[in-house]
Amino acid sequence: MVRATLSVFFFVGVMLSLAGLALSGSLARTPSLLALELAPLVVVGYVVGRISRRYVDGAAFRRGVLVVCTISAVVLLIRSVL
> What's the predicted TM-score (pTM) here?
0.55
Residues spanned by the domain of 32: 2-81
Which pairs count as long-range contacts for 20-23, CB under 8 Å and 24+ apart, including other chains?
A: none
Task: Quote the pLDDT of residue 2.
Answer: 56
CA distance readout (Å), 67 to 29, 36, 45, 58? 36, 31, 21, 14
Secondary structure element (H or E) that encloses residue 70, with its range: helix 58-81
Number of domains in the chain: 1
What is d(CA 70, CA 63) in angstroms, rounded to the nearest whole number? 10
Tens-digit pLDDT string for the chain (82 aa): 556 677 788 888 888 998 999 899 988 888 889 988 998 998 898 888 888 888 989 889 889 989 999 999 999 999 999 8
